[in-house]
Each structure stands twice: as C-alpha cells, then as structure tokens.
C-alpha cells in the first residue's frame, strides 16, 4: 500500500481549472521532488492532500485512509510545512512545539527534544519566535512537522531562508528519515538542490502532471553534454555539423549519447583536429526538466 | 478537545493585548477608587455669601416696610453664619442653624420695630439662654425639650393621624437619646433621623389620602422608599448610604467597569479565528488530527470560559485596589433594593449583589461575544469583527432607547431589548413588558443562528493560497 496515493485530483476555483487529473504516488522511503512554476498548482495540490482545500473530484488516500472520509485517521500520520513555517510569534520555539505536540496522542518531552536536536535548534529553542531568523523559523517548522513521527512528510519550499549549511543538514536529515521508511514530498524552486537526494520527480505544469519518473530514468533518457578543447574550434565545428556549438577559438560544446561522442571523436581525428580535452558534463535535473518541458524554461 | 482548549487558553493569555488591557484596567480601577474616595458625602448645604448679604443690606431703605423685612432676614442670616463659623464643630453648628435662628430673628425683629422694652428683654433672655446651652454643647437639652413638646401635643390632639405622627416623632427623639446620636451631619444615624423627621408629615398625609394623582403616587413611592431605607439604617446601624467606600464601588461595578468586560470579550473573540488565517497558523491547526468542527468548538468554549474568568479577575483586582484605597471594612454593608410592588426592602450582601447584577447583563456580553466570534470566522478579518461588534453594541443601545418611545412591532425581535435583565435585580418591571421566556427565546434564536453560520462556514472554508 502506498503511503500517499493521489488519483485524478481535479479542482476548480471559479471557472478556472487549477488542477486537472493530477495523479501520483509516494511509497515508503520515497523522496519525491514536486516541481512546477509559480501558479502551476503545487501548493493547491499540497493543500488538497492535507484537507486544507476541498477537491472537486478525485481521491487522495494516506496510508489507505481517504482524506475526505477518514480525515482524522489520514491526517494523524502526516507532518507538513505549507507555504511558510507560520508559527505563533508571541510564543517561544519550545512553547510552539509543546502546543503542537499536545495535539497528538503519546507525544512527550523526549519527542520534543528529539526533533529539536534533529533540526539543531537546541540553543535558541527557549527564545521567542519573533526573534528568529527565517532560517530558524524554517528549522522550527520542520521540527513541528516531525513531532508526530509522520509516515508522510510534506515540505513546501523548505529550503527558503536556509543557508548552504542548513540545506546540507536538511538533505542529510531527509535522507535519514527516508531510510527509516518515511515518504517525503518536497517542492522547491531550487531544482539543483533536490536532485542530489530525491529518487522521484513529478513535474506539474498548468495544473497537469507532465511527467512522473525516477531521477535516474529522467537523466538517462536524455543526451549528455560534452565539453571539447581542440586546436581549431571552427574547423571542428564544420566537421561535426549542427550538433556542436562554438564557444570560442578553442572550445566547443556537443550534445550526444555515448555512441555519438565516440563517433564524433573518431571523425575529428580523421580530419586532423587535435583534441586536448573531452569533459562529460552531467545533465542537471533542471536541464533535464527543461528538456522535458520542451525547452521552455518555466521556473 | 481538552488539549485544544488548553492551547487556545495559552494563546489568549500569552498575547500582549491581554496584558495591556489588564494594565489599563488596573490604572482605570485606581482612578475610579480615588474618585469614590473624594465623592462629597454630606448632602450639599446651602452656602451663604456673607459679603453678598452685607452688600445687599447696605442698599436697602429701612423706612420701607418690605425692605426692612428683607434687611432683618439678611441680618439674621449673617449673624447665624458668623456664629457657625465661630463654633465650627458639631453639635454647635447644627444647633445654631436649627435652634438659634428663630430666637435670633425675633430678637432682631423686635429691636428694629421699636418693641416694648419688656418684650425685648424676654427675647434677649431667651436668646442668651439658648446660646449658652449651645456653647456648652448640651444637645440633650434640646432633645428633651422636643420630647416634652411632642408629648404635650400628643396628649392634646384627638386626630388619630396626628397621634401617629407624634408617636413617631417621640420614637425618633427617644432613639437619639438611647443611642447617643449627637446632632452631627457627618453621622449617618443623625442624618437618617433628620431625614425621617423631614419626610414624615408629607408621607403620612399622602398615606391617608383616599385617592392619589400619578404625581403624588410617584412622590409617595419615593417617600416610602426613603423612609424604609432610613428605618433600616436606624434598626441595623449600618451606613448604607455612604458611597465613599469599597461597597459602593462594588454596588456600581457593572456600570463602572462593564465597558472593560466588553473590551475583554471583543479582544478575545475578535481575533480568535481570523488571526489564525491572517498569520497562516491555521494551516498547522487544521492538519492536526481533529475535525474542523471540534477545532472551532474548542475556540468557542475557550472564549466562553474566559468570560467568568475575566469577570472574576476584574473583581479580584478591584477588591485589592479598592481595599487598599478605600479600606475593606465596608464590605459587610449590604445593598438595599426597595421592591415597590411588594413594599419590602430586599437586602443583598454586597458580593451577591455585584455578581447578580453582572449575571443580569451577561446575555448582552454573550451575544456580543458570539457575534465577534462569528464575524471573525466568516470575514477572517480581526478589524471587521471588532468594529462591527462594537457598532452593534452602540446600535443596540440606540434601538433599546428608541423602543421606549416608538412602539414599532419590529423592535420586539431586536436582541438588544432582551439582553439586559437588570430590571430583575432592581425589582422593577421589564421596561418593554416582555416576559422572561420571550426574551430567552429571542436570545436563544440569535445565538443558534450565529453559531450555525460560523460552524457551517468554517467546515467548508478553503485555506487560500498566499
């Protein structure tokens, strides 16, 4: 049974179709990158999953419980940050955590201290949240979303306001959680941050899912980019044809799969072009995403 | 559910606004108590301007009959005031005013009208004897003189009503002697005795009259109440009319501090839902394992539980502040309410009276609180909830007053005519002649409609994207 199963989710606001037949699933240990431009329907999808907005049709189940019919059972195994970590500013971090923890059965002080340590807020947890930086609020938000040991963790733009060190820590934390079986849905603008630790990607554009794949699948279906340093770049460009792009007198770029690059090198040698360097540049998730979205940069 | 209520309570108490209003309340309470401490208790005595009277006298033509009369009257007043200033203590001051005025007037009159010398001597002797007695402070002499006078008149009169009057007057004088009540206007027993004495004749006349005009009826009811009150004071020896004490502040608690209850209630209910939407915290709240109606219900219950809490808080603060400023001793003095229908004096211990008077206007606070709660839920705007609720309160007062003048049927269904039950405590009838049950039905309907709107709306409401 999937931790999260979204099936044919549709939502209209007024006459505008915000979501059209959105379907995807998250299994135990999945980290799913949920990618889309502003207004594509990411946050609306997340809000429907959490029951914060009503859907027009479709079903969402969490651990097999329907979010509409069995809301309390479904939601009790979910932790989430939506849009931004909005907590009570006039309370301390600790008071916020204690309050959120009190809403779940069987949470105790040990659980609270565990999540505080997980996000590294031990030193500032007794300060008022109004004195926190955005990054610290983000950490507190993550701590709150983990307080009930959720099976499904939903993080909407969690890297906002985190410094590189914080992002690295978050990455390690999420990998650890996933290893223990938590399903994670994570949306972010910063796609390159996601690629290093997500195992699934789901791209949404104008309310429609355009692809749902594993990351490795996404990458291998595309050609790779190669960087070549030669003695006469313009000559080489003529030999290789339109596949190559001239960078300057000595450097050019080439898109090709593995067979293609071997042929190209052969061709250059035959035409007496001296090759100094051939560097394979791995295709980033963002570039793969652009390729799939039809070359249109939508983020 | 219990955890939700606990969390809501914490949210309200931790907000700065709650603390700020409490601090303002404390300052306000200090001012009110200081004000009560300085209220002028002694019924304002007519002040005479001696310089004015002297000025007037200097312009009078003593050869004219009426000018001479005015001159003598002014002169008497000047002399009396001078004597009162000389003997600025009780009982002298009171005796000079009440027992020396007439001898002084007659003496002066006979001087200026060239009376015979033997009459003048008699008057002079009388004046001097009275003055000597007054100087000595021998107030009992005057009481005994009154007693003898009343007893004589009692033995002579045959009219049964007159008999009653003299018997009553004799009782008063005997009470004065038995309880050593000096003629002293700062003594509440003295004031009660004198008050009955002043009102007694008029009261008995009205009582024996066969038919009364509506004016007379009002006057009679008033005198009845006054005399009943004075009698209670004399019988129980408690100073219930004194309003410079803590008991008096508590007796007026609802009117002095009622606005603060309203402020607290609007402050609690106005932001209770809307702020969660505005600050985005609603998202965390709604993804907790509770149904939406449970979450809203817990907010409602928390707010409602706060009403008795803030009232008790205000009472406790006022008790401390008022006690420090005015002293605690008056707290044993009860509040007296005269029930004119039954012609009885109802005695309330002070705290019972305060609580009952607050309870009697609780429906108003309940309606306004639930209105703020509903508006907060539906509009998701704290300022709208607060402003509209306050305007509704003002509008309610206006309509309540209009309804006293214009008897439009439509007013009957307006809630502000039903949310004040203080007439039950004051032992008067409902100003609009509604039955209690009808009022309760109207109140119930308003509450049910408002709550239904709030709950239906909250269950359906989408959390909009920022």
Contact state of A71 with B16 under an 8 Å Cβ cutoff = no
Q: Which residue of A has its CA nearest to B464?
A: A53
Chains A–B, number of C-beta pairs less than 8 Å apart = 75
Give me the CATH number covering residue A259.
Answer: 3.30.70.1560
Claim to verify: residue A44 and residue A94 sit in the same structural domain: yes
The answer to whether residue A222 neighbours chain B at the CB level (below 8 Å) is no
Q: Tell me, yes or no, if A126 comes closer than 8 A to chain B by beta carbon.
A: no
> Token pair for residue A251?
């450097």
Is the distance from CB of A273 to CB of A232 less than 8 angstroms?
A: yes
Residue ranges of chain A with per-residue pLDDT less than 70? 189-193, 213-223, 282-299
Last residue of a domain, one of A190, A219, A248: A219
Specify whether A144 is located in the same domain as A259.
Answer: no
Q: Specify which residues A184 forms β-bridges with.
A: A31, A153
Q: How far is A173 from chain B (nearest CA, A)?
A: 21
Contacts of A47 in chain B (CB under 8 A): 462-463, 465
Does A299 fall in a domain? no
- Verify that A148 and A266 share a domain, yes or no: no
Q: Which domain-ending residue is among A194, A219, A244?
A: A219
Name the minimum distance, in Å, from the CA of A20 to any CA of chain B: 18
- pLDDT score at B382: 93
DSSP state of B337: E
Question: Do A197 and A249 belong to one domain?
Answer: no
Helix (H, G, I), strand (E, B) or coil at B184: coil
Residues A197 and A276 in one domain: no
A214 and A227 within one domain: no
- pLDDT tens column, A169-187: 888 888 888 888 899 999 8
Please state whether beta strands A183-187 and A31-36 pair in parallel, antiparallel, or not at all (unpaired).
parallel
Residue A254 lies in a domain: yes
Q: What is the mean pLDDT of each run of 10 residues along chain B (466 residues)?
A: 88 89 95 86 63 80 79 84 82 84 83 74 83 83 88 86 87 89 86 89 85 86 88 88 86 91 94 91 91 93 94 94 89 86 85 92 94 94 94 93 85 89 86 89 95 93 78
Q: Given this model, what pLDDT does residue A245 score?
A: 81
Q: What is the pLDDT of residues A119-143, one digit of tens each?
A: 888 889 999 999 988 888 888 998 9
Q: Tell whether A292 is covered by a domain.
A: no
A72–B290 C-beta distance less than 8 A = yes
Partners of B463 on chain A (C-beta within 8 Å) are 47, 52-53
Looking at the structure, do residues A79 and A131 belong to the same domain, yes or no?
A: yes
Residues A120 and A250 in one domain: no
Please judge whether A103 and B10 are an interchain contact, meaning their C-beta atoms are less than 8 angstroms apart: no
Let me know whether A239 and A205 are in one domain: no
Residues 6+ apart with CB under 8 A from A277: A227, A228, A229
**A278-282, Cβ contacts within 8 angstroms, sequence gap of 24 or more:** A278/A226, A278/A227, A278/A228, A279/A226, A279/A227, A279/A228, A280/A224, A280/A225, A280/A226, A281/A224, A281/A225, A281/A226, A281/A227, A282/A219, A282/A224
Let me know whether A182 and A255 are in one domain: no
CA nearest neighbour of B9 among A157, B73, B18, A10: B18
Domain extent, residue A68, equals: 4-219
Q: Are A196 and A286 in contact (CB under 8 A)?
A: no
Q: Nearest to residue B289, comparing CAs of A167, A199, A79, A244?
A: A79
Number of domains in chain A: 2
In a shared domain, residues A183 and A57: yes
Nearest to B465 among A43, A87, A102 (CB): A43
Residues A174 and A44 in one domain: yes
Q: Is B182 helix (H, G, I), strand (E, B) or coil?
A: coil
Cα B437 to Cα B217, B245, B415: the distances in Å are: 31, 37, 14
CATH of the domain at A31: 3.40.50.300
A291 interface with B at CB cutoff 8 Å: no
Tokens of B33: 């108590």
In this structure, chain A runs to a length of 299
* Domain annotation covers residue A25: yes
Q: Where are the domains of chain B?
A: 2-40+245-460, 43-137, 138-241
Q: Is residue A270 part of a domain?
A: yes
């Amino acid at each position: 049974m999937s931790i999260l199963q979204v099936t044919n989710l549709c939502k209209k606001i007024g006459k505008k179709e915000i979501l059209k037949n959105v379907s995807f699933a998250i299994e135990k240990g999945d980290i799913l990158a949920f990618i889309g431009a502003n207004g594509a329907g990411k946050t609306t999808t997340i809000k429907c999953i959490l029951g914060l907005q009503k859907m027009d049709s479709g079903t969402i189940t969490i651990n097999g419980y329907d979010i509409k019919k069995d809301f309390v059972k479904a939601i009790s195994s979910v932790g989430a940050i939506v849009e931004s970590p909005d907590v009570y500013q006039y309370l301390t971090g600790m008071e916020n955590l204690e309050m959120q923890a009190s809403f779940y059965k069987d949470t105790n002080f040990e659980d609270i201290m565990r999540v505080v340590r997980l996000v590294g807020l031990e030193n500032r947890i007794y300060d008022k949240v109004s004195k926190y930086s955005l990054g610290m609020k983000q950490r507190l938000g993550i701590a709150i979303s983990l307080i009930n040991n959720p099976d499904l963790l939903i993080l909407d733009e969690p890297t906002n306001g985190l410094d590189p060190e914080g992002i690295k820590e978050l990455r390690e934390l999420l990998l650890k959680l996933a290893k223990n079986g938590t399903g994670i849905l994570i949306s972010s603008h910063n796609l390159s941050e996601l690629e290093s630790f997500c195992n699934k990607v789901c791209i949404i554009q104008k309310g429609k899912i355009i692809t749902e794949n594993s990351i490795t699948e996404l990458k291998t279906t595309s050609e790779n980019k190669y960087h070549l340093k030669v003695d006469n770049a313009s000559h080489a460009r003529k030999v290789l044809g339109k596949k190559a792009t001239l960078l300057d007198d000595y450097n050019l770029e080439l898109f090709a799969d593995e067979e293609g690059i071997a042929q190209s090198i052969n061709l250059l040698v035959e035409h007496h072009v001296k090759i100094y360097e051939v560097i394979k540049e791995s295709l980033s998730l963002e570039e793969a995403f652009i390729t799939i979205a039809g070359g249109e940069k939508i983020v | 559910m219990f955890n939700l209520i606990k969390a809501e309570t914490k949210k309200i108490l931790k907000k700065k606004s709650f603390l700020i209003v409490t601090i303002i309340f404390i300052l306000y309470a200090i001012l009110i108590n200081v004000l009560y401490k300085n209220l002028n208790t002694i019924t304002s005595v007519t002040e005479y301007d001696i310089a004015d009277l002297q000025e007037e006298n200097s312009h009078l033509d003593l050869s004219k009959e009426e000018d001479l009369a005015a001159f003598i009257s002014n002169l008497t007043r000047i002399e009396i005031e001078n004597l009162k200033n000389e003997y600025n203590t009780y009982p002298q001051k009171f005796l000079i005013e009440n027992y020396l005025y007439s001898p002084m007037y007659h003496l002066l009159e006979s001087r200026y009208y060239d009376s015979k010398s033997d009459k003048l001597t008699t008057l002079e002797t009388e004046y001097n004897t009275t003055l000597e007695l007054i100087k000595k402070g021998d107030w009992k002499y005057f009481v005994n003189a009154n007693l003898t006078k009343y007893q004589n008149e009692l033995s002579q009169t045959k009219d049964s009503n007159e008999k009653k009057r003299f018997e009553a007057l004799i009782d008063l004088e005997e009470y004065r002697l038995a309880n050593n009540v000096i003629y002293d206007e700062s003594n509440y027993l003295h004031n009660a005795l004198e008050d009955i004495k002043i009102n007694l004749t008029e009261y008995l006349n009205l009582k024996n009259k066969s038919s009364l005009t509506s004016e007379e009826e009002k006057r009679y009811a008033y005198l009845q109440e006054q005399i009943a009150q004075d009698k209670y004071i004399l019988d129980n020896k408690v100073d219930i009319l004194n309003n410079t004490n803590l008991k008096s502040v508590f007796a007026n608690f609802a009117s002095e501090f009622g606005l603060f209850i309203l402020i607290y209630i609007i402050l609690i209910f106005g932001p209770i839902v809307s702020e969660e939407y505005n600050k985005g915290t609603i998202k965390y709240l709604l993804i907790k394992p509770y149904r939406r109606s449970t979450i809203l219900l817990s907010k409602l219950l928390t707010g409602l539980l706060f009403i008795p809490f803030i009232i008790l808080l205000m009472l406790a603060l006022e008790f401390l502040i008022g006690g420090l400023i005015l002293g605690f001793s008056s707290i044993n003095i009860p509040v007296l309410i005269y029930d004119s229908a039954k012609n009885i004096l109802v005695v309330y211990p002070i705290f019972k009276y305060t609580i009952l008077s607050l309870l009697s206007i609780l429906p108003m606070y309940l309606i306004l609180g639930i209105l703020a709660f509903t508006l907060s839920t539906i509009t998701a705007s704290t300022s709208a909830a607060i402003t509209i609720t306050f305007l509704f309160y003002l509008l309610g007062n206006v309509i309540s007053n209009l309804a006293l003048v214009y008897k439009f049927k439509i007013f009957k269904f307006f809630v502000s005519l039903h949310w004040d039950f203080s007439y039950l405590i004051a032992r008067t009838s409902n100003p609009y002649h509604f039955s209690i049950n009808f009022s309760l039905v109207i109140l119930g309907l308003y509450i049910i409609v408002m709550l239904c709107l709030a709950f239906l709306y909250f269950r359906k409401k989408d959390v909009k994207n920022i």
